Amino acid sequence: MNNPVLTKYILGDIELKNRLVMAPMTRSRSFVDNIPHELAPLYYSQRASAGLIITEGTQVSPNGIGYLWTPGNYTKAQQEMWQKVTDAVHEKDGIIFNQLWHTGRISHSSLRPDNLPPLAPSDIKPNGKVYTSKGWVEYETPRIMTKEDINQAINEFKIAAENAKLVGFDGVDIHGAFGYLIDQFICSGTNKRNDEYGGSLENRLRFALEVVEAVLKVWSSKRVGIKLSPANTYNDMRDDNPKETFAALLEKLNDYDLAYIMLMEPQTDISNLPNYPTNIIEYFRPFYKGNLIANAGLTKEKANYLIENNIAQLVAFGSLFLANPDLPKRFELDAPLNKPNQRTYYGGTEVGYTDYPFLTD
């Protein structure tokens, strides 16, 4: 069977062995001081046959923590383990980018070192609950970020980019999706500011672009990507006109010559939101000149279609890579796929983490 997804591709200044990307996936196994799990080097290196691995979201600072047991890259102990991860992946000729993450309002005071409510563009409390050391609790009303807070957050992304380079990553992925801090600035439902970071569409895009510019002071643009979710309602997100909002953002991002933009398909039912685009990758393709990565809900057939028709240059798989460390080989042979066990996605041990069988097992 013809598999365009298995062809080589030049991404920026890196030759990828195939077009398959291991999507960033939170695994919640950083149990001690937000240090990646001791099995993380094995977990990632098992999947080094991907053209590109993007790590789980890695908070840019303690201010960016939104969930228990998620990794950072701002302490020596965290960096030592990430170095082991990159070494293990490179030993298997893999390519790995670190996803830079700040959750903004999707957090809780008990998760923060200062025990203060989380920061956000506006003081709009998200609906829902977050898991803490005391169990599930309601989200809190976040604190409105001052200009000083905004500058600090932008600098934290820059420092995180420096730390990613320090520990041997091949590039970085800026998490601008799924209702976290950058997305909160972009979308009108979470940004009600009346300064230069809110109000007009141009102002709402400013924070995202300034984060990109800060990261580009550290990395070549050919080693930087950004993830966006133009039809996301997860984490209580809304935008008045996402078609206009994200088309404008993509057109501005054309100026930066990034390695890629990853576009995430909707993860919730948006049939009651007629102004929301549904087929994300095809809708936004005309607005961006560079590489696009399609993400979420893909099959091998759909992925091959997108590559063959030059709609996406790369395709990202999450749960299938989680459950099939040798996914490229399985696609090549049209072999059966392991089914992911959702009960072991978050927390736990090696079960559902490093014990999924390879074809040769």
Residues acting as catalytic residues: 180
Locate 225 and state its tokens.
């990507």
Tell me the one-letter amino acid at 356.
Answer: Y
Block residue for tokens 């998490």? 175
Count of helices and strands (H, E) across the chain: 10, 14
The secondary structure element, H or E, covering residue 250 is: helix 242-253
Question: How far is C-alpha 353 from the geometric centre of its chain's CA atoms?
Answer: 19
Pairing mode of beta strands 143-144, 119-120: parallel
Instruction: Write b or e for each residue in 68-94: b if 16 or more Cβ atoms lie within 10 A of its Cβ, otherwise e.
Output: bbbbbbbeeebbebbebbbebbbeeeb
Could you tell me the two tokens for 7?
């062809």
Q: How many CB atoms lie within 10 A of CB 352?
A: 19
Strands 9-11 and 143-144: unpaired
